[in-house]
Amino acid sequence: MQLERSAHWRTDRIDLFLLKPQHVDAAYVAWLNDPLINRYLESRFVVHTLDSTRAFVQRCLDSPQTLFLGVRSSALAGRHVGNIKLAPIDARHGLGEIGILIGDRSAWGQGLASDAIAALANIAKHQLGLRKLTAGCYASNVGSRKAFAKAGFETEGERRAHFLLDGHPETLMLMARWLD
Ligand SMILES: CC(C)(COP(=O)(O)OP(=O)(O)OC[C@H]1O[C@@H](n2cnc3c(N)ncnc32)[C@H](O)[C@@H]1OP(=O)(O)O)[C@@H](O)C(=O)NCCC(=O)NCCS
């Protein structure tokens, strides 16, 4: 996604910034490999390294269908605590899918995910001209479902027994927010 390289978006709690390979450090890679943090992420099935993660961030930066942002917490002295992604962006239908990871566990439960989702919805509406945002949450990922709900998403459907979690079928909740 081509946006100004110095692009930043701020709320009271967070600063969103365009994620680049140089923002990937050992702490970021550790989030991806931590089974407590990646429990509900499809990225959990492979081991991540600095190189693989930097390459992933570069591919996102190069893709016109992806806007990948880092999340910094004001309360934690501007520390990089997670990421939020809008992808794929489907300009023909005005659609975008959101994925979020607040990887720094000391930052959980402070409203950062809700804020980041709401801020990205603003960007999607006002800068990208999108019309509808979607997200998928494992049914038992209560924190994620609540964060999307707080940011104005509703449940538009579900895929029953869709994924396997610890070998057991798990329903995928389909969340959506219309931007008009
Ligand atoms: C799920 C996740 C995004 C939540 O981030 P967060 O910054 O802690 O979320 P918020 O602080 O905005 O919380 C929103 C609401 O959910 C609640 N909540 C957060 N985590 C929770 C949990 N594990 N269990 C129950 N409620 C939880 C918060 O208390 C808050 O509720 P409230 O408004 O009633 O106080 C974060 O824990 C995370 O990134 N987890 C790992 C990756 C992941 O699962 N991503 C989502 C994939 S769809």
> What are the tens digits of pLDDT across the range 26-83?
999 999 999 999 999 999 999 999 999 999 999 999 999 999 999 999 999 999 999 9
Looking at per-residue pLDDT, the higher value among 5 and 145 belongs to 145
Nearest Cα residue to 36 out of 102, 86, 99? 102
Which residue's CA is minimally distant from atom 5 of ligand 1?
Answer: 113
CATH, range 8-136: 3.40.630.30
Tens digit of each residue's pLDDT (9 = 90 or more) over 116-166: 999 999 999 999 999 999 999 999 999 999 999 999 999 999 999 999 999
C-alpha pair distances (Å), 66 with each of 88, 91, 130: 6, 11, 13
Closest Cα to atom 10, ligand 1: which residue?
Answer: 111
Cβ(100) to ligand 1 under 6 A?
A: yes
Residue nearest to atom 22 of ligand 1 (CA): 143
Q: Is 81 in the pocket of ligand 1 (CB under 6 A)?
A: no
- Measured CA to CA, the distance from residue 101 to residue 82 in angstroms comes to 5
pLDDT at 167: 97
Residue 1 has pLDDT above 60, yes or no: no
Closest C-alpha to 83, from 13, 31, 149:
31
Give the whole-angstrom CA distance, residue 64 versus residue 90.
10
Using CA positions, which residue lies closest to atom 21 of ligand 1?
143
The protein residue whose alpha carbon is closest to atom 34 in ligand 1 is: 146
Mutation test residue for ligand 1: of 73, 79, 134, 144, the one with most atoms within 8 Å of CB: 144
Structure confidence at residue 5 (pLDDT): 57
**What are the pLDDT digits (tens) for 79-123?**
999 999 999 999 999 999 999 999 999 999 999 999 999 999 999
Q: Does 179 score more than 90 pLDDT?
A: yes
The candidate with the shortest Cα–Cα distance to 53, out of 18, 26, 88, 78, is 26
What tokens does 178 get?
A: 């219309």
Distance CA 148, CA 116 (A): 10
Side-chain-side CA neighbours of residue 137 (13 Å): 21
- Say how many Å lie between the CA of residue 138 and the centre of ligand 1: 13
Q: Which atom of ligand 1 is nearest to the CA of 114?
A: 12
CB of residue 69 inside a 6 A radius of ligand 1: no
* Rounded distance from Cα 106 to ligand 1 centre (Å): 12
DSSP run (H or E) holding 162:
strand 154-165
Task: Round to whole Å and give the CA distance between 158 and 140.
Answer: 13
